[in-house]
Amino acid sequence: STNMTLFREFWRERGKADAFRVLNAVYSSNDALGVAHRASLGFGFGRYLMEDLGNELAVSIGVQGVQERRESCEAQGRSRTMEISAFAESGLATCNDAELFINLQWHLYSFQSRDMDIYFTSNAYPSLSDEGRLRGDMKLVLDWELFNNFFWSINARAEIDNAGDQDDDSLDTTDFTLSTGITWKY
């Protein structure tokens, strides 16, 4: 599975200081869920619910357009459109949808002799154009400083898609990943 996310906050100059606008762009693919390509671009609004030293909690909501290449779009009530590309040769359909995005971000951190960061991000994507379709993901990242600017990281991610098994019983509706590594931050 592949996932690249750009989540950009644009702060307002007037009004509430804890409110912001959001640009949300995501590219992903997931063999377990049967998605060869998924790209989305959206815009929304967000607000910090908590912003204390060592603890931040933010929520945002918006609308986005999504393009997916899957085995079929028909089972979810969408029309099948084929593109002339390498994907067309493989028999994949291009599906275009509109959906909401609801994002929750929590960041807990500590500046002690050894820094610690915990990031939790959760996204829900209820479809506006495909009735009954719901997907989402959760990500938990733990970073502990081993020594000056070197961290041990643990990443856990879960992804759900209730259309993951629409055409193929061998596909799942959920996928989990767990990774660990050493990172350097400056």
Rounded mean pLDDT, 106-135: 89
What per-residue confidence (pLDDT) applies to 169? 65
Strands (E) located in 31-92: 35-52, 55-70
| Tokens of residue 1, six digits | 């599975």
pTM of the model: 0.80
CA dist 160 and 7 (Å) reads 20
* Residue 159 burial (CB count, 10 A): 24
pLDDT (tens digit, 9 = 90+) per residue, 56-102?
999 999 999 999 887 777 645 444 344 434 444 467 778 899 999 99
Instruction: Mention every residue, 6+ apart, whose C-beta is less than 8 A from residue 182.
Output: 146, 150, 151, 152, 153
